[in-house]
Amino acid sequence: MAKRVIIIGGGVAGMQAAITLKKLGCSPLLIEKSVELGGKLNHWDRLFPSGMKAKELIQNMVDEIASLNIKIMLCSEISEIRHEGERVEVGLTDGNAFEGEALVIATGFELFNASVKEEYGYGIYENVITSADLEAMFSEGTVSTSTGLPPRSVAFLHCVGSRDLQIGQPHCSKVCCITGVKQAIEIRELLPECQIYNFYMDMRMFGSGYEELYKKAQETFRINFIRGRISEASETADRQIRIKAEDTLLGRPLKLTVDLLVLMIGKRAAVCNKTFADNLDIPLNESGFLQAKDDFYNNTATRHDNVFIIGTSLAPKTVGEALNDASMASTRIYDYLTRNERQL
Amino acid sequence: MNKWGFGINEKRSIDLDKNSPDIADRVLRDEPSLRLCIGCGGCTATCSAGNLTRFNFRRVHHLLRRGEYAALSGEIDKCMLCGKCTLVCPRGINTRNVVLSIRKHLSV
Amino acid sequence: MMNLYFEPFIIPFCIGVVVLFGVMWTKFISWISRLPKTDKRLILKNAVSSATFAALWEVIRECLLHMRIRRVNLRLWYMHMSLAFGWFLLIVVGRIEGGIALGSLMNPPYVDVFFRKYFPYIHIPGFGFLMDLILLFILSGLGLAVYKRFNSRKLGMKRTTRLKRTDRVALISLWCIFPVRLLAESFNSALFESGSFLTGSLGDLFALIFPTIALYYINNLLWWCYSVVLGTFFIMLPFSRYLHIFAEIPLIFLRAYGIRAKANPTTFSKLQIAACSRCGICIDPCQLAQNNLTNNTQSVYFLRNIRDKEQSPDITDHCLLCGRCEQICPVGIELNTIRISSRHLQRAGEIRFDYSYFRGTDLSAGEGKVGYFAGCMGQLSPKTAAAMKRIFQESETDVWYADSEGSVCCGRPQKMAGNLDAARQMTEYNTSLFEKHGIRTLVTSCPICLKTFREDYRLPDIEVLHHSEYIARLLETGRLKRNPSSKILTYHDPCELGRGSGIYDDPRKVISRIGILKEAPDNREHSLCCGSSLGNTRLSTPQKIQIAKSVTDTYEKTGAEYLVTSCPLCKKALGRTSRIQVIDLSEALFLE
């Protein structure tokens, strides 16, 4: 009989783990708290750097899960986890409980709540939105201000809720730099006459194709990059947003009035990480992400041979990295579950 | 002598071979958090004095770190010590103590 | 001619008394004579008034009975009171005994002090018993003091003060005085049957143990010792912390006459510093101590360092100026003001802050009857600013927004850092701006600004209000209407608003108009500091967050849905760690 592996979290990482494990002959159980698979990507329009639709990726994976007959549990929230030797038991809030021989934690991240940085005016001024709000606009195909008109000028502020020691978010969220470039280009595509500014501290173009996209943003899409962090935003009488920053390359304070301010919100460690850390005795890092055994061969492993962590439960990651984690963890689990057979 | 009529004007460059790090070291000892600066300029953007004068905390910090002390004395005395920059700084630098410390060490 | 009753063994005692009163009076007279003219005028004006009687009553209550310590800690009170009041009784009752015995009140003081030695055969009914009782009373307090020194937690104090050498000598001689007196009187009684229930019984015991000749020599030696320890203590007193015993008396009188410490220090500050008994009550409420962030900058150490001339910015600057110690100080020392003046002296020689650029920053146009000053921190709190705007609109108030029209920092942050000249430049600029606009009322959302507007600005025609007072007034007069809801709110008193300006009730009035107020255990004058006070330039951000966490924990336990405060800085500080939503009082009016 195939060995049962419980996967908590039905985002891309969890789905990928389920698919790989099933193909390796295990019996994965995918537990997802919301009504559908796909996680955060359900609320995202296009993916960097290629511009592929997130829906397309999710649909492909959901189809594969269906064709492989993988058991999924939607609308299911975990209430307890017990780990005893080689067995893992997961209890749900509806009273059901499942037993498995291995566990994959793929619960992902949370988006930073931009209203914590009150000085940027999110939740106070209608024309201050987040990068997630903008994706929702892209999905609907129109970008508009609170008046319903297309913005004549848009400013992006990078690193909101990232690299910020004041609010316990010391880490870099990794995806916002490139997302800011991607979104700026998308606005330009929708609104050829719009003035677009990206306020950044560092442009971290680490991935394949990122630097090229940045170059295109400068060259082809005429995006203005200003090196400086916005310190505060206020609203004018006609609901425009007035921002204050320093143009650090000129060494002078800068004022700018725009129709729309987009805050590039970072990734926050999920609250549930603490529960996993307490129940399974897994360390948390400074930002509250779960820590794997090491950063190399064991970068998804834990102190328990049959418990693995993948994706953004570990750190801010791109979609591709989360998928790689899933494959890595799946082969390790397969190794673990078949260890006795191999010895024979 | 420059025969060609062009070249680097020596006075323009920051000469780290000559500039002494002594005052910077003393300030950093008083307030080690200053080392955390990533030069975002949030302090200068929000600065109560910076919008009225040339005072620029980020620039003051960099001048200090490069040993360009002569340029500091006319600037540091513009600070109102109001503390907005301390609240804005993403690195949590204790900027007010930096100002007091620079002022102290420049006064000696 | 008066009988001088001279004996060699009284010499140390006499030297002590002469040094004590000589040095002490020199200090007191020099301090009082160097007070500023305005203060001296206050003395002349108020000396012949009920203030003198009130002060006299306070001297009895505080210098002898230590009633304020009683409110903080009963056992600590008993210790201080038994020593002070007991010793006082010993002197007074001894004087009466000596007076009755010799038929004159003009005897030299040592006759009363060494009465049993001088006149072992004179028994005045009741006095022997009374003196023994008082001695026992003092010894019980002394026992507590010794115990406290070695075991401070047992007396309800988590920390006790550390000692310098002069203090140690004074302390040891003080500790010796009463046990030595007990022994001297007991040996005296062993020889002459001069004691009552305590010294008499002990004397009977010694009479059994020692031969008479030994008793004789030990007795003489002990009276010498008694004179020496008294003399030593008296000589050390004006140079040690024990000067507080007497310094508190002029302090109480001058305070009753309306004299206060000033940021630019006067000799009144010296008197206050001398009046510190180093009881250490200020240590436990200090949040820097509670959070283990520093254990040598608390007020008691800070004052000791001033007296020992060992000040350093590391100590002076490392204080929140939250006022929790000042609020609890049994001597009523103005600790915040003295701290600020100490910073002022330390920074005196540094580069002058130059705000000549203020000229030309006035962007203002138009007049309004009410001026609104959000303050620097308020500008980083747009929710508060937006709520205030709605309040002004709803109450149909004509407003002039100072911040957007050229006002500068209020100056209090510079004052807190001791840079009084810098603060003055801002005060002058803002004052002229307010005057130019003919505002009648100045509303500020920032308690830091409020305090300096009220205390350091001269704005005779402008009523300065904190927005909590203003909103309370709008609600009372019906210009703003709200119906109570079932929301549960808790309230954080900002240091500068509560302890700093005495505003506790108005914010609570506003909250009870809109919901149910649930108090945290430390509230009103005992409320905690958010940890981000501008008063402290030494704390790092992680340390500030650590303090904020310890504070928000107490509010989370109230079960409230919202944590209301009325200071933009507190709001920012607490918002970083609170799991319940932190809002400004003005925002609370618009909760849905």
Q: What is the pLDDT of residues C19-70, one digit of tens each?
A: 999 999 999 999 999 999 999 999 999 999 999 999 999 999 999 999 999 9
Tokens of C49: 């008034």
Class for the domain spanning A114-267:
alpha beta
Confidence of residue C357 (pLDDT cuts 50, 70, 90): confident
Burial tier of C154 (Cβ tally within 10 Å: 0-12, 13-18, 19+): exposed
At residue C404 the predicted structure's pLDDT band, cuts being 50, 70 and 90, is: confident
**Farthest CA pair distance, chain C:** 100
H/E stretch holding C109 reads helix C109-113
Determine, yes or no, domain membership for C261.
yes
Residue C158 clears pLDDT 70, i.e. is over it: no
Sequential DSSP letters for C330-395: TT---HHHHHHHHHHHHTTTSPPP--GGGTT-----S--SEEEE-HHHHHT-HHHHHHHHHHHHHT
Q: Are residues C542 and C456 in the same domain?
A: no
The pLDDT of residue C41: 95
Nearest residue of A to residue C544 by CA position? Answer: A166
Domain match, C281 and C426 both: no
C306: Cα separation from own chain's centroid: 15
Set of chain C residues whose Cβ sits within 8 Å of the Cβ of B26: none
Q: Read off the pLDDT of residues A124-179 as tens digits, 9 standing for 90 and up.
A: 999 999 999 999 999 999 999 999 999 999 999 999 999 999 999 999 999 999 99
* Residues of chain A contacting B36 with CB distance shorter than 8 Å: 165
Interface test with B, best of A117, A173, A231, A243 (most B CBs within 10 A): A231
Question: Which residues constitute the domain of residue C74?
Answer: 8-34+65-239
* Confidence (pLDDT) at B1: 47
Q: Confidence class of residue C146 from pLDDT cuts 50, 70 and 90? A: confident
**A204 in B contact zone (CB under 8 Å):** no
Can you give the pLDDT at residue C156? 53
Average pLDDT in chain B: 89
Q: Which residue of C has its CA nearest to B49?
A: C408
Q: Enumerate the CATH 3.50.50.60 domain ranges in chain A, comma separated.
A: 4-108+270-343, 114-267
| Domain count across chain C | 4
- Within 8 A of C545 by CB-CB distance, chain A residues are 168
| Alpha-helical runs (H) found in A252-307 | 272-280
pLDDT band at B7 (very low <50, low <70, confident <90, very high): low
Q: Which of B38, B45, B89 lies nearest to residue A246, judging by beta carbons?
A: B45
pLDDT given at position B68: 93
Cβ(C448)–Cβ(B80) under 8 Å? no
Q: Is the pLDDT of residue B5 over 60?
A: no
Which residues of chain C are within 8 Å of residue B103 when distances are taken between CB atoms? 347, 350-351
Q: Does residue C59 belong to any structural domain of this protein?
A: no
Q: What is the token pair recorded at C550?
A: 């310890």
Give ∠ CA A228-A232-A234 in degrees, rounded to 5. Answer: 130
Give the pLDDT band of residue A344 (cuts 50, 70, 90): low
Grouping H, G, I as helix, E, B as strand and the rest as coil, residue B66 is coil
Is residue A85 a contact partner of residue A199, using CB atoms and an 8 Å limit? no
Given a cut of 70, is residue C371 above it in pLDDT? yes
Q: What is the pLDDT of residue C264?
A: 94
pLDDT-wise least confident of A234-248, C302-316, C334-348, C556-570? C302-316
Rounded average pLDDT over C436-447:
93
Question: Among candidates B61, B58, B67, B56, which has minimal Cα distance to B23?
Answer: B67
3-class secondary-structure state, position A100 = strand
Q: What is the CA radius of gyration of chain B?
A: 15
How many CB pairs (< 8 A) connect A and B?
73
Nearest to B41 among A159, A166, A229 (CB): A229
Same domain (yes/no): C134, C108: yes
For residue C444, report the phi and psi dihedrals to the nearest 5 degrees. Answer: -130, 150
CA angle A257, A259, A264 (to 5 degrees): 95
Question: Do C576 and A233 count as a contact with CB atoms less than 8 A apart?
Answer: no
Q: What is the pTM of this model?
A: 0.89
Q: How confident is the model at residue B87 (pLDDT cuts 50, 70, 90)?
A: very high
Cβ neighbours of residue B81 closer than 8 Å, sequence gap 6 or more: B96, B99, B100, C409, C413, C414, C417, C419, C422, C534
pLDDT at C166: 83
Taking a C-beta distance cutoff of 8 angstroms, is the pair C486, C515 a contact? yes
Which of C349, C376, C540 lies nearest to residue B84, judging by beta carbons? C376
C134 half-sphere exposure, CB direction, 13 A CA radius: 18
CATH of domain A4-108+270-343: 3.50.50.60
Model pLDDT for residues B47-65, shown as the tens digit of each residue = 989 878 889 999 999 999 9
- The confidence score (pLDDT) of residue C2 equals 59
Is pLDDT above 80 for C375? yes
Q: Which residue of A has its CA nearest to C581?
A: A116
Phi-psi region of A185 (alpha: psi -120 to 50; beta: other; left: phi over 0): alpha
Query: Given this model, what pLDDT does residue B6 score?
Result: 56
Residue B9 has pLDDT above 80, yes or no: no
**Side-chain-facing half-sphere of C440: CA atoms under 13 Å:** 4
Residue C364 has pLDDT above 70, yes or no: no
C17: Cβ contacts below 8 Å, ≥ 6 apart? C109, C231, C234
Of A153, A122, A150, nearest to A263 (Cα)? A122
Please report, for chain B, the start and end positions of each structural domain, with discontinuous segments joined by +. Answer: 26-107
Sign of CA dihedral A221, A227, A230, A236: negative
Identity of the residue in C382, C386, C541 whose CB atom sits nearest the CB atom of A119: C382
Residues C516 and C457 in one domain: no
Q: Are residues C27 and C142 in the same domain?
A: yes
pLDDT at residue C543 in the model: 96
Residues near C21 by beta carbon (within 8 Å), at least 6 away in sequence: none
CA dihedral A129, A130, A136, A138 (to 10 degrees): 80
Q: Pick from B36, B46, B91: which is nearest to A231 by CB?
A: B46
> Are C454 and C568 in the same domain?
no
pLDDT of A297 above 90: yes
Is C386 touching A (CB cutoff 8 A)?
yes
Question: In the predicted model, is pLDDT for residue A53 greater than 90?
Answer: yes
Residue C43 forms part of a structural domain? no
Choose the final residue of a domain: C346, C365, C397. C346
Which position has the token pair 């502020």?
A: A157
Instruction: Tell me the chain C residues in contact with residue B100 when contact means C-beta distances shorter than 8 Å.
Output: 317, 347, 417, 537
Contact B92 C380 (CB under 8 A): no
Strands of chain A, DSSP E: 4-8, 27-31, 46-47, 52-53, 71-73, 78-84, 87-92, 97-100, 102-105, 109-111, 128-130, 153-160, 195-200, 224-227, 232-235, 241-247, 252-258, 260-265, 267-269, 307-309
Q: Is C579 on the interface with A (CB under 8 A)?
A: no
Partner residue facing C541 (CB), from A121, A125, A166: A166
Do C297 and C206 share a structural domain?
A: no
Please give the angle made by the CA atoms of C283, C73 and C308, to the nearest 5 degrees. Answer: 35
N residues, chain C: 592
Residue C235: pLDDT above 50? yes
Comparing alpha-carbon positions, the chain B residue that sits nearest to C424 is B80
